[in-house]
């Protein structure tokens, strides 16, 4: 972590030797006294050192740290010209961010990309599958970064994710690019919340490193046009990170999660590999107990596809569902989508009533409720462990800073 002062943040590559059939790239943000490294490793592609990636990794840390940003060399004109607009948006989203000056980089007119590839970021979740199926005829690559939603040290879950990606690659006829990175930990070291502002530019930095192979990258949306809130990846912001060589498209805001699930339920591969849970307790593929798992199971139920989806329990535990709390604005919006989808389904009356009850609960009561059940879970787990009935609870650190890249 850098100290508080006014020195500019300098960004540079520290290229390591190419590894067999792939690349290791290390980027360093420094202010002359201390540094924050960010690294990427892949065996599936040749990563290209480009200042467009440095810009995506540097702008938010510089604004957050109230420093100027220094990048040596040339920066694509399209991205260079987006500097003001990006800062207009982030500045109104987060008033503590300071408008930063860019120094060192010269505005350059780049030739259009020679790359033919069209990629999408893919985690195996609802948003990812929707974009994959919608643009199947155009897509050539799917990209997954280990260390963001699964800890790098979580070998068991990572192997399951890699197997899922391999199957999707084969079934959809797309090339899979898997990378390892401390990307999430890098942004969090600057005090930037991953979900709130960081994950859009972070992922798009990866796409710029892959730009010789790609001319377009889709970033699957989280929210619809009716529910837009400031968030890491956003239809207003993502396209501004495009360069003359790489078009960035924020995709899927026209569809609710129910509509997305209806689309992915047409794919047997999706029904056998869908993965939404970022809980990662005991390396479970989907825990079936967290807000996101419950929300997706209700999505699947409303779409008439829960029984066919083999990565979730086939039935919803209504008692456990009723205990759930929705506190965040986006959680309420998504639950409301589920409620509306169930309105015309008399057979799902009990499920409808359970969701209605959760939504009607005041937020203060939901917070008390959540804390109560959290303590119950901790107590139950400790009792089971003492009785030797539960294996050691395991959950690995997200972010990637717990693992060093190969030298």
Q: Which range in 68-76, 151-159, 249-257, 291-299 contacts Zn ion by CB under 5 A?
A: 291-299
237 Cβ partners below 8 Å, 6+ apart? Answer: 86, 89, 90, 200, 250
Size of the site for Zn ion (CB under 5 A): 5
Binding of Zn ion at residue 143 (CB under 5 A)? no
Alpha carbons 94 and 15: distance in angstroms, whole number: 34
Binding of Zn ion at residue 282 (CB under 5 A)? no
Alpha carbons 271 and 265: distance in angstroms, whole number: 6
Q: Which range in 9-17, 28-36, 130-138, 271-279 contacts Zn ion by CB under 5 A?
A: 271-279
Q: What is the contact mask toward Zn ion in residues 171 to 190, using x (rule: CB under 5 A)?
A: --------------------
Shortest CB 284 distance to Zn ion, Å: 7
Binding of Zn ion at residue 303 (CB under 5 A)? no
Alpha carbons 70 and 365: distance in angstroms, whole number: 48
C-alpha distances (whole Å) from 274 to each of 209, 256, 310, 367 are 28, 17, 8, 29
Tokens at 154, concatenated: 């979580």
Q: Which is nearer to Zn ion, 77 or 287 (CB)?
A: 287
Binding of Zn ion at residue 293 (CB under 5 A)? yes
Q: Which is nearer to Zn ion, 288 or 399 (CB)?
A: 288
Among 253, 287, 327, 333, binds Zn ion (CB under 5 A): 287
Alpha helices in 343-391 (DSSP H): 349-360, 363-386
Shortest CB 276 distance to Zn ion, Å: 7
Tokens at 381, concatenated: 């787990």
Q: Which is nearer to Zn ion, 139 or 261 (CB)?
A: 261
Shortest CB 241 distance to Zn ion, Å: 30
Q: Which range in 47-55, 149-157, 276-284, 344-352 contacts Zn ion by CB under 5 A?
A: 276-284
Q: Which range in 129-137, 171-179, 269-277, 338-346 contacts Zn ion by CB under 5 A?
A: 269-277
Q: For strand 117-121 and strand 141-146, is the pairing parallel, antiparallel, or unpaired?
A: parallel
Shortest CB 202 distance to Zn ion, Å: 23
Q: Which is nearer to Zn ion, 49 or 287 (CB)?
A: 287
Q: In whole angstroms, how large is the CA radius of gyration of the chain?
A: 22
Q: Which residue is nearest to Zn ion (CB)?
A: 277
Binding of Zn ion at residue 274 (CB under 5 A)? no
Shortest CB 289 distance to Zn ion, Å: 6
Binding of Zn ion at residue 279 (CB under 5 A)? yes
C-alpha distances (whole Å) from 332 to each of 57, 100, 193, 252, 289 are 31, 35, 21, 19, 17
Question: CB of 43 within 8 A of CB of 179?
Answer: no
Shortest CB 350 distance to Zn ion, Å: 22
Shortest CB 280 distance to Zn ion, Å: 9
How far is Cα of residue 20 from the mean position of the Cα atoms in its chain? 28
Question: CB of 267 within 8 A of CB of 287?
Answer: no
391 Cβ partners below 8 Å, 6+ apart? Answer: 282
Binding of Zn ion at residue 277 (CB under 5 A)? yes
Binding of Zn ion at residue 290 (CB under 5 A)? yes
Tokens at 378, concatenated: 């901790």
Residues that bind Zn ion (CB under 5 A): 277, 279, 287, 290, 293
């Amino acid at each position: 972590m850098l100290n508080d002062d006014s020195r500019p943040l300098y960004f540079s590559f520290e290229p390591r030797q190419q590894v067999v059939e792939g690349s290791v790239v290390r980027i360093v943000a420094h202010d002359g006294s201390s540094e924050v490294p960010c690294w990427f490793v892949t065996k599936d592609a040749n990563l290209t050192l480009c200042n467009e990636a440095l810009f995506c990794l540097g702008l938010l840390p510089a604004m957050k740290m109230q420093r100027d940003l220094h990048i040596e060399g040339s920066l694509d004109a399209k991205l260079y010209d987006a500097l003001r607009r990006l800062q207009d948006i982030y500045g109104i989203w987060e008033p503590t961010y300071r408008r930063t000056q860019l120094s060192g980089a010269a505005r350059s007119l780049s030739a259009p990309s020679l790359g033919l590839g069209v990629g999408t970021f893919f985690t195996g979740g609802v948003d990812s599958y929707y974009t994959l199926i919608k643009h199947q005829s155009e897509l050539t690559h799917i990209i997954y970064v280990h260390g963001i939603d699964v800890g790098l040290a979580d070998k068991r879950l990572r192997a399951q994710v890699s197997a899922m990606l391999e199957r999707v690659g084969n079934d959809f006829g797309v090339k899979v690019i898997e990378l390892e990175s401390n990307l999430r930990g890098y942004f969090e070291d600057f005090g930037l919340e991953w979900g709130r502002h960081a994950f859009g530019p972070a992922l798009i930095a990866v796409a710029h490193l892959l730009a010789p192979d790609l001319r377009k990258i889709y970033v699957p949306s989280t929210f619809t046009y009716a529910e837009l809130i400031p968030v890491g990846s956003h239809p207003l912001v993502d396209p501004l990170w495009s360069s003359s060589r790489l078009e960035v498209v924020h995709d899927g805001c026209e569809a609710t999660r129910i509509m997305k699930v209806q689309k992915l339920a047409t794919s047997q591969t999706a029904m056998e590999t869908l993965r939404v849970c970022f809980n990662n307790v005991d390396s479970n593929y989907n825990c079936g107990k967290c807000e996101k798992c419950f929300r997706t199971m209700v999505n699947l139920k409303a779409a008439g596809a829960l029984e066919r989806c083999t990565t979730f329990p086939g039935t919803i535990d209504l008692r456990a569902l009723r205990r759930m709390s929705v506190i965040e604005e986006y959680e309420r919006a998504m639950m409301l989508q589920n409620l509306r989808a169930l309105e015309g389904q008399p057979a799902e009356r009990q499920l409808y009533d359970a969701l209605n009850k959760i939504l009607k609960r005041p937020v203060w009561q939901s917070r008390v409720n959540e804390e109560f059940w959290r303590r119950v879970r901790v107590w139950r787990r400790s009792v089971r462990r003492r009785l030797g009935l539960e294996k050691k609870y395991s959950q690995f650190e997200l972010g990637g800073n717990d693992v060093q890249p190969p030298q």
